[in-house]
Amino acid sequence: MDARDVFREFRRRSGYSGTCPPLRVECSRIGFRLWKDRPGLGTTLLAAVTWEAVTQICFKDNGPMRSDMIYVCMSDRPGILAIPLEIPGGGVLWRQFRTRGLIPASLHEQATLATDGALYCWPPLEGAAAPRDGNPEIR
């Protein structure tokens, strides 16, 4: 199962509507933490990830009317974290991936400016053909 399959399954099972859930991300020099804030019930730590554990990053452009998504694969746990870009700290996390060299600057810029609904992954998804310009954009 690759990131595309996980994305489809996530949308099907969760009924994801494109609105931001009560999540937030905090970045540090070690890694990042994903929190879920539940009014009246407190805050739950959903994941603590070190930068070294990140093995693949995918950015799904969902157009101007829905939240873009960041998908993170990790070496120290199964599954993929799905993080809406628009949650508090989401933009900082996305920039940290570029700053820390976890995604090439050219692909980061291409994904950030996209409005075409494409999935941008680094490293490229297994079996996916890269376009002639060498950027691993998946359509």
Q: What is the residue extent of each domain of the chain?
A: 3-138
21-38 pLDDT, tens digit each: 689 999 999 999 999 998
Q: What is the pLDDT along the chain (139 residues), one digit of tens a residue?
A: 666 676 666 666 555 555 556 899 999 999 999 999 988 888 999 999 999 999 999 999 988 778 899 999 999 989 899 999 999 999 999 999 999 999 999 999 999 999 888 999 999 987 544 443 444 333 3
- pTM metric for this prediction: 0.76
**17-25: which pairs have CB atoms within 8 A and are 24 or more residues apart?**
18/62, 18/65, 18/66, 18/67, 19/67, 20/67, 20/84, 20/86, 20/87, 21/84, 21/87, 23/83, 23/84, 23/87, 24/87, 24/88, 24/89, 25/83, 25/87, 25/88, 25/89, 25/90, 25/92, 25/93
Q: For 85-105, how does the pLDDT look when each residue is reduced to its tens digit (9 = 90+)?
A: 999 999 999 999 999 999 999
